[in-house]
Amino acid sequence: MVERTRRAFDRELAELDSDILCVAGLVVEALSTAGEALATGDRDLAMKVVDGHGHIDDETRRCEARAYQVLARQQPAAGDLRLVLTVVRLSHELERSAKLVRHVAAFAAEPHGCLPPRLAGLVARMADEARRLLRGAIDAYAERDVERAEAIDIWDDRMDELHRQLLAELFTSPQSLATTLELALVGRYLERIADHAVLIGDRVRYLVRAEL
């Protein structure tokens, strides 16, 4: 009886783990699509991300609710408890990242005319870097790879440098004030997505080594 109960609990934990990875995949895919829309000026592609945000939000909340149900019913301890708490934390980071992705896509869906090539290139590179960081953090979680998770913080330095370059370029490029402000926000959104990737990496270290 005890062994059967344990197997059922292990299966529930595995499903919870699978759920959060599915949600993460949706967010990374949306970010990739938003980045492509930014780079190509494809407003229809950007609107697909905007319209699909509600589904990601629903899936994130469902995953978080399931984690709380496991906590209430099973009262897990040690590594099992760390897994459930990590899923709860990841759901928060992914939910916030998805909202930022939606903001980026909303900008790409609006008519802005032709951006100066260097500005367009910097924004596209930031979107690609944000996707790489988030994908790397999720892979580190899936593989329980602490070394890879810790490397995310180092990779984030590249994003910070791109963000500084974008802000410097915005003050010397001949676009409208409204576009300048919007692009500054887009840069901040992408930089924040990278920060959420770093936080996911921190949770991997907690999950594997019980370190905060």
- Choose which CATH entry (2.40.30.30, 1.20.58.220, 3.40.50.300, 1.10.10.10) describes domain 2-209: 1.20.58.220
What is the 8-class DSSP label of residue 176?
Answer: -
- Both tokens of 21, joined, read 């990875």
CA distances from 34 to 55, 62, 168, 190 (A): 16, 24, 23, 11
What is the predicted pLDDT for the residue at 179? 85
Question: How far apart are the C-alpha atoms of 38 and 32, rounded to whole Å?
Answer: 10
Answer left, alpha or beta for residue 104, where phi above 0 means left and psi between -120 and 50 means alpha: alpha
Going from N- to C-terminal start, the domains of the chain cover 2-209
**What's the pLDDT at 120?**
86
Write down the pLDDT at residue 164.
96
The tens place of each residue's pLDDT in the chain, 212 residues long, gives 556 666 777 788 899 999 999 999 999 999 999 999 988 889 999 999 999 999 999 999 999 999 999 888 877 778 899 999 999 999 999 999 999 999 999 999 988 767 788 888 999 999 999 999 999 999 999 999 999 999 998 999 999 999 999 999 998 887 788 888 999 999 999 999 999 999 999 999 999 998 87
Distances (CA, A) of 135 to 26, 128, 129, 210: 11, 10, 10, 23
Residues in the chain: 212
pLDDT, tens digit, 9 for 90 and up, residues 50-80: 999 999 999 999 999 999 998 888 777 788 9
Measured from the Cβ of residue 146, the count of other Cβ atoms closer than 10 Å reads: 17
